[in-house]
Structure 1
Amino acid sequence: MTSSDDLARVVVNHLSTALDVPVAAIALDAQLTHLENASSLRLLTAVTAIEDEFALELDPDALVRVRTVADLASLVEAGIRSSGAR
């Protein structure tokens, strides 16, 4: 299984790509909506890429409660655990 730190790095990398900002500009405690270039479409692009990488589908109800980068990483980790992926 992938470690929590590795998952956080994957989430940050996908956010960096989708938002077109450097990885260093994305802190784990940052509010997703406050990230540079953040829009619903760009954030959805990042989430979709994360789902594709881990072959999982995140719960839409849980996604709307995600506020920070760390929240998103935790949700991905929970999804991986429940699906038995990676």
Structure 2
Amino acid sequence: MTSSDDLARVIVSHLSAALGVPAAEIALDAQLTHLENASSLRLLTAVSAVEEELSLELDPDDLVRVRTVADLANLVEGRIRSSEAH
């Protein structure tokens, strides 16, 4: 299993790439919609890259409730744990 810190790094890395913002400028408590260069398309690009790297699929209904980088990390971690339990 990937650690929570590793998951956060993966997510921040993909957000950084999609938004064109240095990873060091992306805080876990940052609102996704308030990140520099954030748009729905760029955020979706980052989420898709995370899904591809980690070989998982996130539920769109769950994604709508995600507000912060940490929320996204928690959602991904929950999805990984759920898939490991099956």
Q: State the TM-score, normalizing by the size of structure 2.
A: 0.96
Hey, what does 2:49 align to over in structure 1?
49
Deviations 1:13-62 (A, max 9, x none): 00000000000110000000000000000000000000001111001111
Q: Which ranges in structure 2 are unaligned for 5 or more consecutive residues?
A: none
Q: Which amino acid aligns with 2:59?
A: D
Work out the CA distance in 1 between the residues paired with 2:55 and 2:5.
19
Q: Which amino acid aligns with 2:8?
A: A
Q: CA deviation at 1:77?
A: 0.4
Q: How many equivalent residue pairs?
A: 85
- Which 4+ residue blocks in structure 1 deviate beyond 3 angstroms? none
* Residue 37 (str. 1) matches residue 37 (str. 2): yes
Instruction: For 1:4-23, list aligned pairs within 5 A.
Output: 4-23=4-23
Q: State the TM-score, normalizing by the size of structure 1.
A: 0.96
Q: Which amino acid aligns with 2:49?
A: A
| C-alpha RMSD over aligned residues | 1.1
Q: State the identity as a percent.
A: 81
Q: Which ranges in structure 1 are unaligned for 5 or more consecutive residues?
A: none
